[in-house]
Amino acid sequence: MKKILRVNNIKLPLDHSEEDIHNALRREGIMFSRDSIVIARKSLDARDKNDLCYVYTLDLPLESVKTAAKAKSSKRISRIEAEEYELPEPASTFQGSRPVICGSGPAGFFAGLILAHAGLRPLIIERGRPVEERALDVRALWEHSRLNEESNVCFGEGGAGTYSDGKLSTGNKDRGGRQAFILDTFANCGADPEIRYWYQPHIGSDVLPTVVKNLRKLIISLGGDVLFDTKLVDIDVKDNILTGIEVLRDGEQKSIPCDTLILAAGHGAADVFLMLRDRGVRLEQKPFAMGLRIEHPQAMIQKAQYGTEDTEHLPAASYKLVTHTAEGRNVFSFCMCPGGHVVNASTESGQTVVNGMSLAGRKGRNANSALVVSVGPEDYPSEDPLAGLEYQRRYEQLAYRAGEGDIPLQLYGDFKAGRDSSGFGEIQPDIRGAYRFAQLQKVLPESVSGSLIGAMDSFAKAIKYFDRPDAVLSGIESRTSSPVRVVRDEHLESNIKGLFPCGEGAGYAGGIMSAAADGMKVAEEIIRRKTK
């Protein structure tokens, strides 16, 4: 535990300097050395559009500061103990075989990192390709409509998050210091150090490949291994105990002895969940959300949120919208990408899925986000644990047919009226991948289409002109979260001993940060077992 003097609610103008921060501390009666100041949090206060300002929380090591009488009575100042994540001590030996991790997304990589620090030499298998080669496959999909079903926007090193902006926000509390460790790790691997304290941190899809590659190198330097183009196709089980896995590599099926498997596959890996069901792994239905992407000019969002289109001292404006229908469904924005792009995120032939991403600078002309509606077991076609997956795939197939293999588009005014779109208005789409006009009501359940239209009045009250007729819709957005959960017990283990479901695909996370933290928790449990 670090003993910290924390100074809250330091408000400074948009064009402030580092010296302004120092002067603010002096006005609070605090004497300090310049190199002792740590920014704990920085946010933008846009409640009064005539008085936009940045708000800081600052930390100083208690032993390095002196405080005047004024500081001792200030309500801004408190003394706290900051919790730090403790990495495991390297073990000279461990029980059983080396742990295997399926998936190199945030859950898989951070599980691997913690296991490697503990000396357990984890083996990470990834069906897709290294991030350098994966980029070529993604470009082939976006520019030439050539889909590689094993290496694409969702599959490959870094997981789906590599091509979805790299948002690091989370609503979870940082118990045990895991979140701070994750942010530090990303920053040390090449992300902007500002992610450590910015209230809406993101890395950017142009920076993430470097970060992911450096994270891989770090794991390898600590004794781990990563095998790409290696697809999990089966698990070997005897008396409900995991004994090994079967992988497809270089066109051949190969066996890997394994008594511990961390299953960190993304929720796009439908084949993995089908295999698990066939092998008796306990699965259950889970609600998710589906809908469409919507694009507006970033300048319009900037004006609505900040009262100005100026971007010199302001970040690209974002939004978060939510409403509830009379029928009890939630309608909300998801994965909002300021200055971003809509992307083709398909993983299987005959299906179309879209997502959004932003580069680090968020300089694109449009803002986009998913507008999605909650769906759940009551909507699914059966009680089979994978019925939600079947439901999801059905509408992805409809989207593919509607767009004839391209991303289907429609203007909001035409979507609401149920008519064809024949051309764009003032908003030109910013899309990575081929697209064409189609009627999007035909690719969604009626309950979802109706809920989206019904929610727009509420959203337009929050953001002026949000319901403008020329807003561009594209679809479908159906991979908001997993429609299935791989059941695990209080020790994070499935009903198959040695199989540890983990991360977003298994139904235990909702974004990069929570997935990475879940990977760390599973790794910690495995370390406890293998180093007794």
CB 40 within 8 A of CB 10: no
Inside any domain, residue 427: yes
Same domain, 271 and 374: no
With beta carbons less than 8 A apart as the criterion, state whether 495 and 281 touch. Answer: yes
Residue 37 CA to residue 256 CA, distance in Å, equals 50
Residue 90 located in a structural domain: no
Same domain, 510 and 468: no
Distance between CA atoms of residues 116 and 95, nearest Å: 15
43, 262, 264, 482, 484 from 503: Cα distances, Å: 28, 10, 6, 10, 12
CA 510-523-161 angle, to 5 degrees, is 30
Domain of 124, in residue numbers: 100-284+484-530
156 and 34 fall within a common domain? no
**Can you give the CATH number for the domain in which 129 is found?**
3.50.50.60
Instruction: Give the integer Cα–Cα distance in Å for 235 and 271.
Output: 13
Q: Would residue 369 count as lying in a domain?
A: yes
* 58 lies in the same domain as 105: no
144 is a domain residue: yes
If asked whether residues 445 and 346 sit together in one domain, one would say yes
**Is the preceding peptide bond at 30 cis, omega within 30 degrees of 0?**
no
pLDDT recorded at residue 171 = 77
Confirm whether 93 is domain-assigned: no
| 106 and 249 housed in the same domain | yes
What is the pTM assigned to this prediction? 0.95
pLDDT at site 331 = 98
Domains identified in the chain, total number: 3
Domain at 64, CATH number: 3.30.70
Do 228 and 344 fall within a single domain?
no
Domain boundary among 82, 108, 128: 82
Question: What are the DSSP calls for 36-54, one per residue?
Answer: G-EEEEEEEE-SSTTS-EE
Phi, psi of 6 (to 5 degrees): -105, 130
Which backbone phi and psi does 87 adopt, to 5 degrees? -70, 145
Does one domain contain both 291 and 400? Answer: yes
Considering the domain architecture, whether residues 47 and 152 belong to the same structural domain is answered as no
Q: Quick one: 463 and 490 in the same domain?
A: no
- In a domain, residue 454? The reply is yes
Whether residue 256 sits in one domain with residue 312: no
Domain-located, residue 94: no
* HSE of 106, CA atoms in CB hemisphere, 13 A: 30
Shared domain for 415 and 471, answered yes or no, is: yes
**Cβ-contact 394, 445 below 8 angstroms:** no
How confident is the chain (532 residues) per 10-residue block, as mean pLDDT?
A: 90 95 91 88 94 95 80 84 90 93 97 98 98 96 97 95 85 85 97 95 95 98 98 98 97 96 94 97 98 98 92 90 94 96 97 96 96 98 97 98 98 97 97 98 96 96 97 97 97 98 96 96 96 86
**Final residue of a domain: which of 28, 55, 82?**
82
Domain annotation covers residue 95: no
Examine the fold and report which residue of 440, 460, 477 is the final residue of a domain before the chain moves on.
477
User: What integer pLDDT is reported at residue 410 of this predicted model?
Assistant: 98
Residue 69 pLDDT: 67
